[in-house]
Amino acid sequence: MTAFDKQLAGDVDLDQFVEVLGAEAGLPLVFHYDGKPVKPGYHVTEVKVGKFSGLDCGANPEAWTEIFVQLWDIDEGDRSHMQAGKFCSIIRKVSDHVRLDEPARLTFEVSDGIMPMQLYRAETPSPADGIFNVTLHPLAASCKPRDRWLEQQSAAKAAGCCSAPAAKQACC
């Protein structure tokens, strides 16, 4: 497992995300990114599924499914933040028309319509003070072979094993 996968392992997948929101569907759903909450008029403008395969910089094959939820962060009239139940309803409607692989990685694309779209990963929604808060964190690039090597080094050090260093995998 790479650092990228470990980073995502603590993140919520679509099935978990909807399950948590379904417990209190009437609460407003407020996403937080770049240190600020989305505006009350935000829209879910698109939900799409991507199936990816490729080679990392060490020529290791990679394959995964990712679900993208696009948020348009705008003020629109006197609207309030979307209720968790409405978000779940949007996801159900999408799943009626597009096959959603529930354990897939969940990625949010966010833009205010002016700034370029940015990619984020989500923490598990948490209810507080009558609101579902979801913190979004920017996605960072990583070198998977290097991450695997660093993880092996860390595991060996934690285990107290210092007899033979792990072989370093080819990196970019």
Write out pLDDT tens, residues 122-168.
Answer: 999 999 999 999 999 999 888 888 988 888 888 888 887 555 555 45
**pLDDT tens per residue across span 113-123:** 999 999 999 99
What value does the mean pLDDT take over residues 26-33?
A: 97
pLDDT class for 102, splitting at 50, 70, 90?
low
**pLDDT tens per residue across span 44-85:** 999 999 999 999 999 999 888 889 999 999 988 888 999 999
What value does the mean pLDDT take over residues 83-96?
A: 93
pLDDT of residue 172: 55
pLDDT of residue 7: 45
**DSSP secondary structure, 39-74, as one string:** PTT-EEEEEEEEEEEEE-TTS-EEEEEEEEEEEE--
Strands 61-72 and 105-111, sheet pairing: parallel
Residue 12, Cβ neighbours under 10 Å: how many? Answer: 18
What is this structure's pTM? 0.80
**Taking Cα atoms as reference points, which of 117, 97, 106, 118 lies closest to residue 7?**
106
- In the predicted structure, residue 2 carries a pLDDT above the cut 80: no
- In the predicted structure, residue 1 carries a pLDDT above the cut 70: no
Residues whose CB is less than 8 angstroms from the CB of residue 28 and which lie 6 or more positions away in sequence, other chains included: 80, 81, 82, 83, 84, 130, 131, 132
